[in-house]
Chain A
Amino acid sequence: MYGLCALAGVLIVITLADVIYQLANNGSLAISHFGLGFITSTEWKPGFSKEGAGALLFGTLVTSLMAIVLATPLGIAIGLYLSMMAPVRVRAIVGPLVELLAAVPSIVYGFWGLVVLVPFVDGLEPGLHSALGFIPIFGPASPVGISVFAAGLVLTVMILPIISALTRDLFLTVPVELKDGAAALGATQWEIIRGIVLPTTVSGCASAVVLGLGRAFGEAIAVSFVIGDANNVNKSLFQPGTTAAARIADQFIAPVNPLHLSAMFYAGLLLVIIGMLTSVAASTIAGRFDVTQRVI
């Protein structure tokens, strides 16, 4: 029995190692052809055997950062509401509802994003551009609304339940004596949050945000529906772009030549390395908190 259990554990570690090996092995053609220049080159012309992941990584970073910037304050606010403010009955209903946001499949988010969100964004962008156009990220709008901005919004919705559920659990671990003590000294609820709850859980919250970031980095299908698969490095959020994961989803089924296929494995390898680093970072930051990709 012990042997079997240990074997299962070993198998998991081997699988992880094999993931790296398979990606590196199948991407070896691109790795030897492009070397590390792949990471910085922004050209992606499969027909001319020129592939570079610069634009992909840029898009991955921009969409994920946008999602994190929007989802972190929202998610932590929801976590606070569910752990400290909501009446118990409301908690029991709203908590699972927020978690259900994470159960909606990514293809549904993608399809919904394309048909519902993109037209909405299309109506939103000109206004944002004319009001905030002096900031480079709110540049000229794309004609149809398919844009990095739309992808960022979809990702926000997808990682919001992760951050809010994780932080809610964290806030519930804050000892009630500390909170009651602060309240007895006359602190308002905000002062309890600001002075007790957030400082004691700050490392856990940071770790939850990093986990959300990791999820945003790797989302392929939902993003590929709304971002437009354009090899684009653009300051404006309102232009189409792509991410590493979305590019693989868009082009993997019909590679132009072996190098093209191999380049996508190379991009996948970069994605895995980033993903593993975020996992390690999340568990390192978390410190004493047992923050993990929980089932939601």
Chain B
Amino acid sequence: MSATSETAFFDTMPFDPTAPLTPSGNLRRRAAVSRTVQVSATVAALFAVAVLVIVLFGVAKRGAAALSLSFIFENPSGLASGGIFNAIIGTVEIVIAGALIALPLGILTGLYLTEFSGARSRTARLLKLALDMMAGLPTIVVGLFVYGLIVIPQHRESGFAGAVALSIVMLPIMARTSQEVLLLVPNSLREAADALGVSRWRTVLSVIIPAATAGIVTGAILATARAAGETAPLLICNSLYAQDSTSLNLFHGVPSISMFIYQSYDLPLPDAVTRAWGAAFVLMMLILIANIGARLLLARSRAKMRR
């Protein structure tokens, strides 16, 4: 009885546990769909990297023709010759002035969010929303704002106005990175300081900030790199004239690399376009090097904190 039913079972569904599994039609279809998705996601990533390479290579190829030591270390002479030293110095001036405004404010905001208010408190959420809004402000509008705030009352476009505009671009980035890094500072440090009866501000100044310095610095570098490439606020707030000499007075028009590119492409001279490519290459290299350096630093300090 039992023997016959067993043989009947094996006759209808032959099952050999040692045989390799073969997918049915449905499983094959599912695997194929999954495979297609994987391939297209890989292609998408390759596409993004390819775009980066195409942009970098395009700028490098065209910029290399203009590049020389004198292009970097000499002031311009005439309409389309000489170097862009003044513009490099100008960009550095404006960006550093902007960073000097944004850095303290950014660190203080980050400290407020992490040390002085609960992460879920209403003020903290409001402040985070305000920071997001600030980060979402179109940079051209930041330019308009500073034009109304500083340029109109002073009756003068100036590097200082440009620096203020850039500080608004930098501030949310600095605040966000400071906050992120401060959150990584181990709570045991705060508790140890509290146990010793150290007041909160002293803990912040002598324990928390030193522990987070590397992260804050990298945030500052990333923010300045971002601001260094901005054109729109400088176009509006910083004078278009005064482009030919090194200017150390921030309260007058200060030349900058991005404005140099913007203006050179308008000149009807082939040399001017080549020089614009050269300047674009210099600007991009400065920013990319700062970015990559900051990222490496950040990764290292994060690893150190997590340990």
Contact = CB atoms under 8 A, between A and B. Distances in A.
B48 A221 contact: no
Interface in A98-118: 98, 100-101, 103-109, 111-112, 114-116
B262 A104 contact: no
Contacts of A108: 55, 59, 229, 261, 280, 283-284
A194 to B, nearest CB: 9
A6 B112 contact: yes
Contacts of B48: 74, 78, 97-98, 101, 160-161, 164
A49 to B, nearest CB: 20
Nearest to B273: A115
B132 A111 contact: no
Contacts of A282: 132, 136
Interface in A224-280: 225, 245, 248-249, 252-253, 264-265, 268, 271-272, 275-276, 278-280
Interface of A: 1-2, 4-9, 11-13, 15-16, 18-19, 22-23, 25-26, 73-74, 77-78, 80-82, 85-86, 94, 96-98, 100-101, 103-109, 111-112, 114-116, 157, 160-161, 164, 188-191, 193, 211, 214-215, 217-221, 225, 245, 248-249, 252-253, 264-265, 268, 271-272, 275-276, 278-280, 282-283, 292-295
Interface size class of B (residues with CB under 8 A): 35 or more
B228 to A, nearest CB: 8
A96 B264 CA distance: 31
Contacts of A249: 140, 232, 235
21 contacts: A7-B108, A12-B127, A16-B134, A19-B137, A73-B44, A86-B42, A100-B52, A104-B284, A105-B231, A106-B232, A108-B59, A108-B284, A112-B58, A157-B51, A193-B37, A252-B144, A268-B140, A272-B141, A275-B137, A279-B136, A293-B132
B128 A292 contact: yes
Interface string B15-55: 00000000000000011011011101110110111011011
Nearest to A194: B37
Nearest to B228: A105
B171 interface: yes
Given A1-B201, A1-B205, A295-B173, 18 more contacts: A9-B109, A12-B105, A12-B109, A13-B127, A16-B130, A22-B145, A96-B295, A101-B48, A116-B58, A189-B37, A218-B141, A248-B140, A249-B235, A252-B235, A264-B144, A271-B138, A295-B222, A295-B226
Contact of A293 (B37, B45, B52, B136): B136
A82 B127 contact: no
Given A275-B141, A292-B132, A103 B112 contact: no
A109 B55 contact: yes
Contacts of B235: 221, 249, 252-253
Nearest to B222: A295
A81 B45 CA distance: 7
Interface of B: 30-31, 33-34, 36-38, 40-42, 44-45, 47-49, 51-52, 54-56, 58-59, 62, 104-105, 108-109, 111-112, 115-116, 123, 126-142, 144-145, 147-149, 152, 168, 171-173, 175-177, 200-201, 204-205, 219, 222-223, 225-226, 228-232, 235-236, 240, 258, 261-262, 265, 273, 276-277, 280, 283-284, 287-288, 291-292, 295
The 9 closest A-B pairs by CB, nearest first: A218-B138, A105-B229, A1-B201, A22-B148, A8-B108, A5-B112, A188-B34, A293-B135, A77-B44
